[in-house]
Amino acid sequence: MQNDVSLKRLLMNIHTYGFGIVGGCPLTEADTVEVCERVGHLRNTIFGHSWTFTNNAALADSSYTNQGIGVHNDNTYLLEASGVQVFHCLFHDGSGGENVLVDGFKAAANLKMKHPEYYDALVRIPLQAEYIGDGHKVIGTINLLQENPITKQLDAIRYNPFDRAVLSHTSFEDTKLFYKALKALSLELNSSANEIWIKLTPGRVLLFDNWRVLHGRAAFEGKRVMTGCYLAKDQLNSRLRSIAGLNLY
């Protein structure tokens, strides 16, 4: 990560596959941040500029437990979800805790091919997501699937059943259609054919596109210390244009 050749390789991996891994990082939050700042400025959220956490239930969030977590995108309750999410395992003295990644764009493409009316419904019907706890009450109105207004291609998926609020503002017909569409998309996202499992070991920093890739975690035993941060989508796209030479809208 000390030269633009390595940075370009990482950026292209994130653009092509949805994620990239940097090896050989020292086991501190500060060093993890330094790696990430080669991609762009960190985004400050309700969790802070960067964070280190363990399974101590310090916050009202399932990440702070040792439970398994189903696949989801982060920040669905924010008006603009963070574009890049970063995980680095600093320490783990037990078993389990593997992370799963799912390409949400592939799942959405499968849905569009099999059930175009469900795909269109998830693009059209708005919903609310919320984070309530730890002194915060953040509520955002979003669409589960978001298309680029210029290219009409899928721009983002914002799927998180743990943060989804009550669907109380839609018509009866749209409510029925939404839940049918949501079930069909959920089946695609939770298919083992769409999963990649990764064991995060100390020194390996995982960066992935939170607008495209969903993540989850297997349950684990022992103490597990993780650090990480978020970056804005604008930062990733800027680097892809300037370092990787891509033409992005």
Look at residues 199, 225, 229, 205 and name the one whose alpha carbon lies nearest to residue 55. Answer: 225
- Work out the average pLDDT over 121-146: 92
Q: What is the pLDDT of residue 85?
A: 97
Model pLDDT for residues 39-95, shown as the tens digit of each residue: 999 999 988 899 998 877 666 566 677 889 999 999 999 988 999 999 999 999 989
Place of tokens 């959405």: 108
Using CA atoms, how far residue 101 sits from 122, 126, 218, in Å, is: 21, 25, 11
Percent of residues, the chain, with pLDDT higher than 70: 97
Model pLDDT for residues 1-47, shown as the tens digit of each residue: 678 899 999 999 999 999 999 999 999 999 999 999 999 999 999 88
Identify the bridge partners of residue 71 per DSSP, sorted by sequence position.
Answer: none
pTM above 0.75, yes or no: yes
Sheet with strand 195-198: strands edge to edge: 69-72, 213-217, 99-103, 195-198
Look at residues 82, 131, 115, 81 and name the one whose alpha carbon lies nearest to residue 186. Answer: 115
Q: What is the pLDDT of residue 21?
A: 96
Which positions ≥6 away from 244 have C-beta within 8 Å?
Answer: 8, 11, 12, 15
Domain 4-95+199-209+219-242 has CATH 3.60.130.10: yes
Burial of 192 (0-12, 13-18, 19+ CB in 10 A): exposed
| Range list for CATH 3.60.130.10 in the chain | 4-95+199-209+219-242
- Work out the average pLDDT over 219-246: 92
Model pLDDT for residues 184-225, shown as the tens digit of each residue: 999 999 999 999 999 999 999 999 999 999 999 999 999 999
The answer to whether 212 touches 157, Cβ cutoff 8 Å, is yes
